[in-house]
């Protein structure tokens, strides 16, 4: 197509005018003085769009130390016990316990999920259940392991049984009104709601029982206990005392699948989670993974709204795969370790700690050794409480650009800790972190621990083994629904 003469002339004129102007600008600008070198701005190496509040050094320390305290139990081979809890969930779902029993130490950390009610319950009750089982004369080491395991199992049985006792025994002919009426007729509504929440919420549990020179470690779920030792050459080593019950661990995944018929093997563990939902392979509570099949549709949808809504959005994904319960249990993995020369610390930590110390896989053993190396620098980096020291350094370990998947050393600690402590919603960036560090005195060097700037010094309570169970199995047939409700 030919170009109109008017258009061609206009275009040529434009180029001419542009060329003249361009020539003038070039000649004029070429006589300017050379520009000075621009000042380089101090900007982050990698862009991260997540908002945060820049904290001062004092504000950072205040937040990190807000949950720290120490205890000094009079137990052989124990100098002191230090704890710190750094919340992320609101309310915080982690809990802890430190008690003595018959010249032994019982310490635990409890990682709750869905809500805090279950972890709150077991931090008070599990040490008592353990004391009750241990309160027998002349237990062998093997019998001691079995006693601890029994305590874990019986506590979860009682949590479940209190829940079942709220409802009719025979659910075949019940409806929504029956379930709501069963809850409404309970004399103490606050206690009833607590029983429901403690069963619906879940919690992992990790305990250490230290008696004389033997450490019994028990683990339900994915928390972790590591013993830190130092050899004669000064090398530090971290070693896991008991494995984790996690569907991400191949051995435990195989164990879980083996408990059910082969035709369920493809649905039990998906993406290293039970039914693709929950990332633990053992827990207290979590009753939606343990109840008889009929409870799924006959009871759960008619629980109080504030309770059911916590898992309603994914309940259908449980129901469609739910055939041969239970899919979770509280029976722990138990091990024992005889203290040796060079053993310095025992670290109990919820998975929020190990998530920080293992970049690629929080189930790997890499974090065990990292924890030992961090503990080797305790008191040289500003924190007197070793649990707080471990918390601070874990947040800084390979964490600079974790959210943009870049692994580099920390250059500005205040900047990075500000990010880790203030981003919202916090749970999208890190978990609750709860740590208890037992400082050992295996070598009997008689040096007293320096308990200054470690937080409040708390007294340790001796456990009372005579406290009754939450539910008395002997009263099973005397429950309120054994009359007319049982005929439904």
| CA-closest candidate to residue 136, choices 145, 125, 128, 144 | 144
Residues in the chain: 488
pLDDT reading at 395 higher than 60? yes
- Classify burial at 112, counting beta carbons within 10 Å of its beta carbon; exposed 0-12, middle 13-18, buried 19 or more: buried
The pLDDT score that the predictor gives to residue 363 is 59
Can you tell me the distance from the alpha carbon of 219 to that of 282, in angstroms, rounded to the nearest whole number?
Answer: 9
The average pLDDT across 367-379 equals: 95
Q: Which residues on adjacent β-strands are paired with residue 273? A: 270
pLDDT reading at 1 higher than 70? no
pLDDT reading at 432 higher than 90? yes
Give the alpha-carbon dihedral of 362, 368, 373, 375, to 10 degrees: 100
Among 8-22, 27-41, 299-313, the least confident range: 8-22
The pLDDT score that the predictor gives to residue 409 is 79
| CA-closest candidate to residue 227, choices 385, 310, 103, 340 | 340
Which residue blocks in 331-365 are alpha helix, DSSP H? 351-357
The pLDDT score that the predictor gives to residue 427 is 92
pLDDT reading at 403 higher than 80? no
pLDDT reading at 32 higher than 60? no
pLDDT reading at 399 higher than 80? no
The pLDDT score that the predictor gives to residue 485 is 31
State the residue for tokens 């129901």.
319
The pLDDT score that the predictor gives to residue 237 is 97
Would you place residue 136 in the very low, low, confident or very high pLDDT band (cuts 50, 70, 90)? confident
The pLDDT score that the predictor gives to residue 212 is 92
- What CATH class does 57-166+201-245+280-290+326-469 carry? alpha beta
176 Rama class: left (phi>0) / alpha (psi -120 to 50) / beta: alpha
Q: Judge contact between 463 and 147, C-beta under 8 A.
A: no
CA 322 to centroid of chain Cα atoms: 26
Would you place residue 75 in the very low, low, confident or very high pLDDT band (cuts 50, 70, 90)? very high
What are the residue ranges spanned by the domains of the chain?
57-166+201-245+280-290+326-469
pLDDT reading at 184 higher than 80? yes
φ/ψ (deg, to 5) at 480: -65, -25
pLDDT reading at 174 higher than 60? yes
What's the angle, vertex CA 370, arms to CA 343 and CA 244, rounded to 5?
A: 80
pLDDT digits (tens, 9 = 90+) for 214-250: 999 999 999 999 999 999 999 999 999 999 999 999 9
* pLDDT-above-70 percentage for the chain: 85
Can you tell me the distance from the alpha carbon of 250 to that of 256, in angstroms, rounded to the nearest whole number?
Answer: 10
Q: Judge contact between 286 and 328, C-beta under 8 A.
A: yes
The residue ranking higher by pLDDT, 223 or 398, is 223
* pLDDT-above-90 percentage for the chain: 76
Strands 104-113, 94-101: pairing kind: antiparallel
pLDDT reading at 334 higher than 80? yes
The residue ranking higher by pLDDT, 444 or 34, is 444
Q: Judge contact between 204 and 222, C-beta under 8 A.
A: yes
């Amino acid at each position: 197509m030919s170009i109109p003469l008017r258009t061609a002339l206009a275009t040529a004129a434009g180029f001419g005018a542009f060329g003249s102007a361009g020539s003038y600008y070039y000649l004029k600008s070429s006589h300017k003085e050379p520009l000075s070198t621009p000042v380089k701005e101090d900007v982050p190496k990698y862009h991260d769009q997540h908002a945060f509040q820049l904290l001062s050094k004092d504000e950072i320390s205040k937040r990190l130390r807000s949950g720290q305290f120490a205890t000094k139990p009079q137990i052989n081979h124990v100098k002191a016990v230090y704890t710190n809890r750094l919340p992320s969930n609101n309310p915080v779902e982690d809990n802890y316990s430190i008690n003595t029993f018959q010249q032994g130490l019982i310490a635990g950390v409890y990682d709750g999920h869905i809500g805090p009610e279950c972890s709150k319950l077991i931090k008070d009750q599990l040490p008592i259940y353990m004391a009750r089982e241990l309160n027998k004369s002349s237990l062998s080491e093997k019998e001691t392991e079995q006693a601890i395991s029994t305590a874990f199992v019986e506590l979860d049985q009682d949590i479940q049984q209190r829940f079942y006792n709220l409802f009719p025994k025979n659910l075949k002919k019940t409806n929504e009104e029956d379930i709501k009426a069963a809850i409404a007729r309970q004399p103490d509504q606050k206690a009833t709601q607590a029983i429901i929440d403690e069963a619906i919420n879940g919690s992992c549990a990790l305990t250490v029982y230290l008696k004389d020179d033997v450490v019994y470690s028990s683990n339900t779920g994915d928390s972790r206990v590591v013993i830190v030792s130092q050899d004669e050459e000064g090398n530090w080593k971290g070693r896991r005392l008991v494995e984790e019950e996690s569907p991400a661990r191949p051995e435990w995944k195989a164990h879980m699948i083996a408990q059910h018929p082969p035709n369920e093997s493809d649905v039990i563990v998906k993406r290293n989670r039970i039914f693709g939902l929950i990332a633990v392979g053992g827990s207290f509570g979590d009753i939606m993974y343990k109840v008889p099949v009929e409870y799924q549709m006959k009871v759960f949808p008619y629980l109080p709204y504030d309770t059911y809504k916590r898992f309603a959005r994914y309940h259908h994904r449980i129901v469609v795969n739910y055939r041969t319960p239970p899919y979770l249990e509280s029976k722990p993995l138990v091990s024992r370790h005889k203290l040796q020369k060079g053993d310095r610390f025992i670290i109990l930590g919820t998975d929020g700690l190990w998530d920080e110390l293992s970049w690629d896989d929080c189930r790997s053993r890499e974090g065990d050794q990292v924890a030992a190396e961090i503990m080797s620098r305790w008191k040289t980096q500003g924190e007197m409480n070793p649990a707080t020291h471990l918390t601070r350094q874990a947040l800084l370990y390979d964490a600079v650009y974790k959210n943009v998947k870049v692994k580099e050393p920390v250059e500005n600690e205040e900047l990075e800790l500000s990010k880790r402590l203030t981003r919202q919603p916090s749970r999208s960036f890190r978990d609750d972190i709860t740590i208890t560090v037992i400082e050992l005195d295996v070598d009997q060097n008689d040096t007293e621990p320096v308990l200054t700037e470690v937080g409040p010094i708390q007294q340790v309570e001796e456990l009372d083994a005579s406290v009754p169970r939450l539910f008395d199995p002997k009263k099973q047939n005397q429950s309120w629904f054994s009359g007319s409700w049982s005929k439904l």
